[in-house]
Amino acid sequence: MPTCSAHAVVDLDVTGATISKHLYGHFAEHLGRCIYGGFWVGEDSSIPNEGGIRLDVVEALRALDVPNLRWPGGCFADAYHWRDGIGPKQDRPVMVNSLWGDVEENNHFGTHEFMALCELLGADPYINGNVGSGTVQEMSEWVEYLTRDGDSPMVRLRKANGRDAPWKVPFWGIGNEAWGCGGHMRAETYADLACRYATFLHNHDGNTLYRIAAGASDDDLTWTEALMKAVSCLGCTSRPRGLFQAISFHYYTFAGDGISKSPAIGFTDEQYYRTMVKAADIDRVIAAHSAVMDAYDPLRQVGLVCDEWGTWWEVEPGTNPRFLYQQNTLRDALVASLHFDIFHKHAARLRMANIAQTVNVLQAMILTDDEDRLVLTPTYHVFEMNKGHQDAVSVPVHLVEAAPAVTVGDQELDPLSVSASTKDGRALVSLSNLALDTDTTVRLDLRGRAITATRARILTADKPQSHNTPTAPDAVAPADFAVTTRPGAHGSTELTAVLPPHSFAIVELDLA
Ligand code: AHR
């Protein structure tokens, strides 16, 4: 096996931005089998459930410390009318989910069921309202229905549906992909609409809203600039108008051939590397959006939110092409670990991110099958291994000697990705070796804090196509990993880790 080496310095006593736990957020859309068959099986199911919510799925997700869950879309959000999903289930109207498979939606999973799911997960709700086919009044009343205390028309309606106390719902999305499925609008048109909607989404009874304007696709900076112009002015250091508190963008990863165009499992080495180049490019995209936002909001009061990210492959053979049910391999796990390193780097502006999507859709944590067996994907394990970064303080990693770059077409891929953070007397270092056929010996000079104990785990497999199935659920699963430490110069610790090809490792350090 060819080997190479890399060397980095980690300053454990230098504090960077706090890595919001919300960078580890999730997304559940009424799409394919994400809600129905994924999260929701109904009260009468033989599958153990609480009020219709699948308990094996909840138990698996609780281990990830899910900080927030976005719902009901995606594109579906701009077709969804929340009043259809409250009250006795037999009275709820049926609609057609034209966007995703043209199937009937019986509205059995609605507002109360979503709030129950968030409570079971311990996650903050992130509700995406309907701008495309809804009204300002409809979204304003949804906020009132969920969050107002005391007495009001919407409070009386909520109580009639069995819930007396208001919920806390901090995160509200103002439409979705307004440039596309959310209404095919021009940026300026949507920016005006976002301001109008935001004006009528009120803080009720101590529930402070974090309103998120629907943002750009990929690196469409024009869209971001139009939204920033709506709330601030170029070079202003005064407070932006507090209409919306964040702007989103969406970024999907594929193998350079467009979304849904290449196989989830049977990919070539070239497709693997093109995937990594595309995943790594989110660094440039976040930096570009941040630069535009910095020009209008140098004090960084408006947040950037990537509320859809992940891989998008061909669907599993024999499944509905509009259900977006795809397999998930070690390659997907490495896309996730690379994204998280980049998210940590941009934590000063990037306040939230949501993987698309949590169960049975696109880059899922959990796949369920027709026999209702459940599989944890390689991506699930990255979220679990990395959860110690949530609300931790990022610390700088300086690459002194990089691993040799991999040439991919006319681009270069740095095969080693690293990030580090500290929290509660511990440090967590994440390391990904993206190379397909090279061991990388990584030497880290850990400076600034003494280390009293070290633990490490690794996620890898024989090949990047490896994945988990009901009959081989642990083909890709974390294992203990041996690293060595020895005293370094000036009281530092020198840590050495030999990362096998296509691997992700975490090192936890107890700090004196
Ligand atoms: O996540 C699947 C879809 O991708 C979402 O509904 C939409 O917002 C995006 O185009």
Which of 125-139, 192-206, 227-241 is the least confident region?
227-241
Of the residues 144, 177, 225, 384, which is catalytic? 177
Q: Is the pLDDT of residue 419 over 90?
A: yes
Q: Which of 257, 260, 285 is nearest to 271 (CA)?
A: 257
Percent of residues, the chain, with pLDDT higher than 90: 95
314, 263 Cβ separation under 8 angstroms:
yes
257, 167: one domain = yes
Domain count for the chain, please give it: 2
Instruction: Count the neighbouring beta carbons within 10 Å of the beta carbon of residue 443.
Output: 17
Per DSSP, what are the bridge partners of residue 442? 6, 497
Q: What is the mean pLDDT of residues 352-363?
A: 98
What are phi and psi for residue 425, nearest 5 degrees?
75, 15
Percent helix / strand / coil, the chain, rounded to 5: 25, 30, 45
Nearest CA to ligand 1 atom 7: 74
Judge whether 113 counts as a catalytic residue.
no
Same domain, 97 and 83: yes
Cα–Cα separations (whole angstroms), residue 336 to 103, 276, 341, 503: 31, 10, 9, 12
Cα 459 from chain centre: 20
The best mutation among 174, 176, 325 to test binding of ligand 1, ranked by most ligand atoms within 8 Å of the C-beta, falls on: 176
The yes-or-no answer on residue 401 being catalytic is no
Q: Is 358 in the pocket of ligand 1 (CB under 6 A)?
A: no
Alpha-carbon torsion 81, 77, 381, 115, what sign? negative
CB 427 within 8 A of CB 344: no
Give, to the nearest 10 degrees, the angle between helix 269-280 and helix 282-296: 10
Cβ neighbours for 368, distance < 8 A, ≥ 6 positions apart: 33, 37, 38, 57, 359, 360, 374, 375
pLDDT at 153 over 90: yes
Could you report the per-residue pLDDT of 113-128, keeping only the tens digit for each? 999 999 999 999 999 9
Per-residue pLDDT at 257: 82
Residue 452 belongs to a domain with what CATH number? 2.60.40.1180
Residues 319 and 213 in one domain: yes
Q: How confident is the model at residue 370 (pLDDT cuts 50, 70, 90)?
A: confident
Instruction: Work out which ligand 1 atom sits closest to the CA atom of 29.
Output: 6
Residue closest by Cα to atom 5 of ligand 1: 74
Q: Ligand 1 atom 1: the closest Cα is on which residue? A: 356
Position 258 scores a pLDDT of 87
The answer, yes or no, to whether residue 240 has pLDDT greater than 90, is no
Q: Whose CA is nearest to atom 6 of ligand 1?
A: 74
pLDDT tens profile 78-107:
999 999 999 999 999 999 999 999 999 999
Mean of pLDDT values over 51-63: 98
Q: CB atoms < 10 A from the CB of 298, how many?
A: 12
Give residue 443's pLDDT: 97
The range of the structural domain enclosing residue 213 comes to: 21-390
Q: Ligand 1 center to residue 75 CA distance, Å?
A: 6
Q: pLDDT averaged over the chain?
A: 97
Give the end of a domain, one of 358, 390, 422: 390
Last residue of a domain, one of 390, 420, 450: 390
Burial of 96 (0-12, 13-18, 19+ CB in 10 A): exposed
Residue 383 carries which side chain, given as an amino acid letter?
F
With a 6 Å cutoff on the Cβ, whether 341 touches ligand 1 is no
Using the predicted structure, report yes or no on whether residue 372 has a pLDDT greater than 90: no
352 and 439, same domain (yes or no): no
Is omega for the bond preceding 2 within 30 degrees of 0, making it cis? no
SS3 452: strand
What lies within 8 Å, CB to CB, of 443 at 6+ separation is: 5, 6, 7, 8, 494, 495, 496
Residues 487 and 365 grouped into a single domain: no
Residues 461 and 415 in one domain: yes
- Cross-strand bridge partners of residue 119: none
Q: What pLDDT does 270 receive?
A: 96
Domain boundary among 390, 416, 434: 390
Q: Are 55 and 11 in contact (CB under 8 A)?
A: no
Q: What is the pTM of this model?
A: 0.98
Among 59-63, 219-223, 367-371, the range scoring the smallest mean pLDDT is: 367-371
172 and 27, same domain (yes or no): yes
Q: Same domain for 375 and 432?
A: no
